[in-house]
């Protein structure tokens, strides 16, 4: 009981000032941001595994299991390096999120011109009807320059006809993704990161994994048209919305890009 009384006396003597409150709030926000990034990913499972090792080590030390505690102590000594290796994607995503804050960004992100949602939705529906595979990434706040640099630069004004011609089967630009910024097609035939999420159905192909993968690394909207089924999908915030048609795609784009109702979006376009 003595240590409990000492602890209570210590709490009574402890005074919390403004710097302490700010410190607690910042640490809480950091932990919350990290858990938000890890939620629904394999990294969360690995995090629980690491916490399990820590619990086992503490239990082994408490019960004086010398051999087990020695092995685990050596293992946990490598924990900082293990965290960097295991969570490199999440760490990169977090740093990208900080870098995309308005006052930290210089000369990146969308142009002032909006994507022509109606023309884009109509072009996607046309490709879906003809079962022409397509992968289209729409830049929002986070810059897509790292992935645009992997493709063929176009810097051409967006149009219905141009988008259809890019994805004509057998043409040099057919494979890969088109990246759209504002009212321009920045690049075509771009390589996008593939998602390793176990939530993606095994029936879906590389295009769908690439779409979800980019939505994991940025806030981009990624449209996927299946070459096999003609199904339209939209990857946004690590989720895959499907199946869509021209109307539901247009409404989803308007909602996520401009926070508009469908009627407002038609007026704006």
Tally of domains within the chain: 2
Q: What is the CATH number of the domain that holds 195?
A: 3.40.1700.10
Distance CA 206, CA 194 (A): 7
Query: What pLDDT does residue 37 have?
Result: 64
Helix axis angle, 66-77 to 42-62, nearest 10°: 140
DSSP assigned state of 15: -
Query: What pLDDT does residue 100 have?
Result: 52
Query: What pLDDT does residue 20 have?
Result: 74
Answer yes or no: do 252 and 142 share one domain. Answer: yes
- CB neighbours (10 Å) of residue 186? 24
Query: What pLDDT does residue 116 have?
Result: 80
Q: What predicted TM-score, i.e. pTM, was given to this entire model?
A: 0.62
Does residue 70 sit within a domain? yes
Q: Domain residues for 77?
A: 16-99
10 Å CB burial of residue 209 (0-12, 13-18, 19+) is: buried
Does residue 33 sit within a domain? yes
- Listed residues 67, 99, 131: the one ending a domain: 99
Does residue 35 sit within a domain? yes
Answer yes or no: do 219 and 91 share one domain. Answer: no
Peptide bond into 264 cis (omega under 30): no
Q: In a structure prediction context, what are the per-residue pLDDT tens digits for the chain, which is 269 residues long?
A: 455 556 555 655 556 667 778 888 888 887 787 777 666 556 677 778 888 888 898 898 888 888 888 888 888 888 778 777 766 666 666 666 555 544 444 444 444 345 688 999 999 999 999 999 999 999 988 888 889 989 999 989 999 999 999 999 888 888 889 999 988 999 999 999 888 777 788 788 889 999 999 998 888 999 999 999 999 999 998 889 989 999 999 999 988 887 544 444 444 44
């Amino acid at each position: 009981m003595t240590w409990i009384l000492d602890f209570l006396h210590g709490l009574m003597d402890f005074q919390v000032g403004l710097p302490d409150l700010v410190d607690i709030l910042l640490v809480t926000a950091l932990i919350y941001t990290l858990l938000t990034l890890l939620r629904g990913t394999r990294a969360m499972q690995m995090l629980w595994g690491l916490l399990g090792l820590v619990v086992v080590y503490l239990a082994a030390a408490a019960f004086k299991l010398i051999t087990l505690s020695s092995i685990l102590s050596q293992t946990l000594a490598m924990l900082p390096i293990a965290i960097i290796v295991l969570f490199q994607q999440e760490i990169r995503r977090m740093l990208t999120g900080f870098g995309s804050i308005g006052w930290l960004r210089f000369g990146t992100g969308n142009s002032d011109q909006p994507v022509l949602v109606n023309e884009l939705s109509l072009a996607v529906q046309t490709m879906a009807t003809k079962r022409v595979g397509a992968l289209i990434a729409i830049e929002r706040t986070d810059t897509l320059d790292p992935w645009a640099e992997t493709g063929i630069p176009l810097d051409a004004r967006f149009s219905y006809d141009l988008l259809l011609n890019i994805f004509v089967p057998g043409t040099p630009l057919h494979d890969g993704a088109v990246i759209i910024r504002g009212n321009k097609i920045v690049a075509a035939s771009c390589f996008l990161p593939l998602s390793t999420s176990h939530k993606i159905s095994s029936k879906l192909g590389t295009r769908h994994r690439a779409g979800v993968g980019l939505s994991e690394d940025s806030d981009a909207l990624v449209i996927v048209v299946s070459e096999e089924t003609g199904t339209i999908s939209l990857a946004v915030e690590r989720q895959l919305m499907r199946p869509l048609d021209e109307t539901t795609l247009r409404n989803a784009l308007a909602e996520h890009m401009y926070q508009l109702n469908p009627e407002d979006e038609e007026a704006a376009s």
